Amino acid sequence: MSRTLKDIGWVVRNDGEPDRRYAMPQVLNYDGSRDRRFDLFQQPTFGPSQLLTQGRSQYYNGIDAHAGPGVYQLMTMPGMGRPTTQYSGMSNDLSRRLDEHGRGGWDNLASPMHQAAIRGMDVRARFAPADGALEARAQELLLLGQREYSWNSRNNGGFNPHCFAYIIVGLLKLLLGCGCCSAWPLTYFGSESQNTEAIKFKFRGVSTFITLLAFVWWIVDWARILGNKFADGNGEALMY
């Protein structure tokens, strides 16, 4: 009955498709079905985040973490700004692992944490205890499958196409709003021929419609931001 972390994964049906009855990874048999000798794993329940290292000084604040298996997340926070989750991981000893991250040295996250310190960012941590190493691994896989984390380079870090899409949409919104407004004066200059006036009239109509559309777009986005319903390209809420 002894199983390893490699036996944890998403349950699949006989046809090879994911089994939607399971909300998170479980212990698998060789054929991808769930090993029913093990209880169902539960989703992680995080407590409030705690300060791990402080700003440019990287002063280490000891965290009263669970001395056993579980999952944890590290977040950067620029001063009074909102925290952004940068890393998700698991450990058989959360207290020891977070202590290693906080003290730096040859830790695997020493470089990104140092870069965060150079930018004056605090690093915060939150954790969720698990019943064992197998459940902790299942919870880690669940978290890694939810979004991209920039410090998880070996799992799912790197370029995030969703961030690029957010940039393109933002530029499009800016061009629609400002571009149409700045084009309005152009419709009042030029020759006074009948054909030109007809073109100007149509252009004014299209420009007015697109400008109003962009304005409504801005209002809706701000309403979503203020209602904490708008996420950035990394899936993080814009307000906390």
112 or 235, higher pLDDT: 112
* Domain covering 50-144 assigned CATH 3.40.1440.40 in the classification: yes
Q: Kindly indicate the confidence band of residue 165, based on its pLDDT and cuts at 50, 70 and 90.
A: low
* Distances, alpha carbon 91 to alpha carbons 96, 129, 130, 137, 161, in Å: 9, 10, 10, 8, 29
Residue 115: how many other CB atoms lie within 10 Å:
12
Q: If DSSP states are collapsed to H, E and C, what string results for 104-145?
A: CCCCCCHHHHHHHHHCCCEEEEEEEECCCHHHHHHHHHHHHC
Q: Which of 4-13, 51-60, 201-210 has the highest mean pLDDT?
A: 4-13
* Distance (Å, whole) CA 230 – CA 232: 7
Crossing angle for the helix pair 194-226 and 161-174, nearest 10 degrees?
A: 130
Instruction: Domain ranges for the chain, please list them.
Output: 50-144, 161-226
pLDDT at residue 178, rounded to an integer: 65
Residue 227 has pLDDT above 70, yes or no: no
Residue 184 has pLDDT above 60, yes or no: no
pLDDT at residue 188, rounded to an integer: 52
Phi and psi angles of residue 209, each rounded to the nearest 5 degrees, phi first: -60, -45
For residues 126 and 63, is the Cβ–Cβ distance under 8 A? Answer: no
DSSP string, 46-84: ----EEEEETTTTEEPP----SSSEEEEEEEE-TTS--E
Q: Kindly indicate the confidence band of residue 156, based on its pLDDT and cuts at 50, 70 and 90.
A: very low
- Residues whose CB falls within 8 Å of the CB of residue 130, separated by 6 or more in sequence, listed in order: 44, 68, 69, 70, 71, 90, 136, 139
Q: How much is the mean pLDDT over the chain?
A: 79
- Residues whose CB falls within 8 Å of the CB of residue 211, separated by 6 or more in sequence, listed in order: 176, 177, 180, 181
Say which range, 20-24, 37-41, 202-206, has the weakest mean pLDDT.
Answer: 202-206
Identify which of 236, 194, 234, 48 has the alpha carbon closest to the alpha carbon of residue 127: 48
Phi and psi angles of residue 53, each rounded to the nearest 5 degrees, phi first: -130, 155
pTM of the model: 0.64
Residue 103 has pLDDT above 90, yes or no: no
